[in-house]
Chain A
Amino acid sequence: MAQQPERLDGVFLALSDPTRRAVLGRLGAGPASIGELAAPFDMALPSFMKHIRYLENTGWIRTRKTGRVRMCTLEAGSFEAVYGWLSQQRDIWEERTDRLERFATDPATNQEKE
């Protein structure tokens, strides 16, 4: 139970920055070059590239150089990992509550306490 979140830390942390969130939001509309992605930000390119590398290292995006342009593409896998993990936690709690409900409403197990 404790291992998965450790692995997901980087994925979550990548979303803690507004520049990175904006980049992911933009890439949601389709692949884009580094130049296009950097354009809206008043930021030196090396600083911007740090964000790109962060997103790449945490598995949010893929980059590929075609000619002189580096194109970025969103990796849906990270989103699914975050979402999948949370829905897995939800299932655990739903099923746990089902069992509590069955247990608490079963007359045989609760006779003496009522």
Chain B
Amino acid sequence: MTSTANPALDLSVSRVIRAPRSVVWAAWSDPARFEKWWVPAPTICRVLDMDLRPGGGFRTEISDDGAAFEPHISACFLAVDELERIVFTDALVAGWRPAESAFVTSIITMRDHLDGTEYTATALHRSGADRERHERLGFHEGWGTVVDQLARLVEAH
């Protein structure tokens, strides 16, 4: 995972949550609990599908009024390691069927920590271009340089 990290397209959020890993895992894997925190109130989240196994479907809907729901997540689980890791992508739907569009692969990890659980969410975003081609063209080094240069420029304004 680290070998393919692309700072301009990936993001990672880490937090130590002062709760046992089983509780954090339950908050993620129990649809009734998941619905309570996944989207900000007053938006309501409804889990249609949370088939926690590789190839399992993951679908949610959201609503602002509790009456009209619209699709939110449509994804497929790629890896599910009890109490440790959940990986899903919207590039696929249930049963590994290719989706209409691909945007992100999300990796959720949970580890024991002295103060509770070390929770990390990593999102790998699509660049819109073929990865192999990127590597051939030295994409990974070049991207960082351009971004740094442009960052300095924008900050200077």
Using CB atoms and an 8 Å cutoff, list the residues of chain A in contact with chain B: 1-2, 5-6, 8-10, 12-13, 15-18, 21, 24-25, 28, 74, 76, 79-80, 82-83, 86, 89-90, 93-97, 99-105, 109-110, 113-114
- A74–B153 CB distance below 8 A: yes
- Which single residue of chain B is at the shortest CB-CB distance from A8? B128
Contacts beyond the supplied A86-B9, A104-B117, A110-B23: 15 A-B pairs with Cβ under 8 Å: A1-B103, A16-B137, A21-B146, A25-B145, A74-B153, A76-B154, A79-B154, A82-B147, A99-B38, A100-B24, A101-B17, A101-B19, A103-B27, A104-B19, A109-B33
Contacts of A9 in B (CB 8 A): 128
State how many residues of chain B have any CB contact under 8 Å with chain A.
51
Q: How far is the CA of A80 from the CA of B119 in the complex (A)?
A: 29
- Which single residue of chain A is at the shortest CB-CB distance from B16? A101
Q: How far is the CA of A72 from the CA of B153 in the complex (A)?
A: 15
- B142–A18 CB distance below 8 A: yes
Contacts of B5 in A (CB 8 A): none
